[in-house]
Structure 1
Amino acid sequence: MRRFASIAAILILTSCSGHDAPPSTVADACRMQQERPHWFSAMKDTQARWGVPVSVQLATISRESSFQYDAQPMKKVGSGIFSRRVPRSSAYGYSQALDGTWEWYMRDTGRSGADREDFADSSDFIGWYMNLNSRLNGVPLNDAYNQYLAYHEGKTGYAKGTWRRKAWLPAVARDVQSWAERYEQQLRLCPAR
């Protein structure tokens, strides 16, 4: 009985927080779609508005935040008992959008109330950003590899090739591409809802 009460309390607290916990698996797009249908509705709206495929959005969010609404990159400063964790940058939320870029997005789209902790807003941000990159740098919207490089480095950094000086980044972008392809194949085979 105590165990049931504890589980019920956790479920109530989670549902009252207004945020979703990460899905039970990130390897199965169909299962994620069953668990978080509102996420997929939002990503389909983003695809319709900005042209960025759901699979590319999923792979980007998975890589950037592991589907954590409050994700923030941290670094350790100091040493020993005086060490502490501090934000590495202003990147935050599902999309890991930087403060300045998020503010630009809100001004450009008129979405002044957009919130980086809101999945639908983060999905729309990714669509907006990748669509802008496509227009400025000619990167196809379904090219998860190059879209991710530009997402990480910024549109200007991508155009200048700054990612070439980061030996680790192309491997990360290839991983995003691989997940986007996997998600695309899975989504084609998901049972009709």
Structure 2
Amino acid sequence: MYKSLLTVLLSIGLVGCAAPPPPKNQSNICEIFREQPSWYKDAKRMEEEWGTPIQVAMAFVKQESSFRHDARPPKKKVLWVIPWGHVSSAYGYAQAQDPAWSDYQKATGNGGSRTKFSDAMMFIGWYTHETQRQLGVSKWDAYNQYLAYHEGRGGYSRKTYNAKPNLIKVARRVEQQAKDYGWQLKQCRSELEKNSSWWPW
């Protein structure tokens, strides 16, 4: 009996530690949080810590990784054929690059992992907070915040995005997704709050 109980508990622990698959319906924030209730708590904690709206951070994650914990940019190709190394060091839910992740860890004293949803959300919260502090870009301004996130604050200040029409389109898409998520969240936030009160993680 005890062996069976131990096996069940270990199985639950292993499932809890495994990264979840990407949400089935990524266009609806309510469905995402219903599928992954612990993510709502993580997102809410980020919002309380850094003041970045949940819908903005979630729109970033959708664009950057499609909610895949181990997402990486495509590999470079040698002689246009042979894959060789990655285009950048971006990794995880937030596609944080090595230098930015290191800056985040030094600034906050947090360790964490880019493949852990809660840590990735905190990184986005910190980055957007710093963008507002340094450049005056509102945390609610998903369009300009995303441009600064993608180009770096220096690149954003130099307006490097003006030479990248495709990036402008992506930033507009992120802006619209944040608006959609924000409207959806208003419809289900009371439900999520109620459910999160008993969710153990």
Short-chain TM bin: 0.7 to 0.9
Q: Which residue of 2 aligns with 1:4?
A: none
Q: What CA distance in whole angstroms lies between the structure 2 residues aligned with 1:176 and 1:108?
A: 27
Q: What CA distance in whole angstroms lies between the structure 1 residues aligned with 2:58 and 2:78?
A: 36
Q: What CA distance in whole angstroms lies between the structure 2 residues aligned with 1:55 and 1:85?
A: 36
- The unaligned stretches of length 5 or more in structure 2 are 1-10, 195-201
Q: What CA distance in whole angstroms lies between the structure 1 residues aligned with 2:16 and 2:42?
A: 21
Alignment of 1:158-177 (within 5 A): 158-177=156-175
Q: What CA distance in whole angstroms lies between the structure 2 residues aligned with 1:180 and 1:16?
A: 28
Q: What CA distance in whole angstroms lies between the structure 2 residues aligned with 1:18 and 1:106?
A: 23
Q: Which residue of 1 aligns with 2:28?
A: 28
- The unaligned stretches of length 5 or more in structure 1 are 1-10
1:74–1:85 Cα contact (<8 Å) kept:
no
Q: Which residue of 1 aligns with 2:87?
A: 88
Alignment pair present for 1:144 and 2:142: yes
Q: Which residue of 2 aligns with 1:178?
A: 176
TM-score, length of structure 2 as denominator length? 0.84
Q: What CA distance in whole angstroms lies between the structure 2 residues aligned with 1:134 and 1:65?
A: 23
* Aligned-pair CA distance for 1:74: 1.3
Give the match's secondary structure for 2:25: coil
Q: Residue type of the partner of 2:45?
A: D
CA offsets, 1:143-178, max 9 Å, x none? Answer: 000000000000111111111111111110000000
1:129–1:151 Cα contact (<8 Å) kept:
yes
Q: How many residues align?
A: 180
Q: What percent of counterpart residues are identical?
A: 41
TM-score, length of structure 1 as denominator length? 0.88
Q: Residue type of the partner of 1:77?
A: K
CA offsets, 1:27-69, max 9 Å, x none? Answer: 1111111111111111111111111000001100000000000
Alignment pair present for 1:108 and 2:118: no
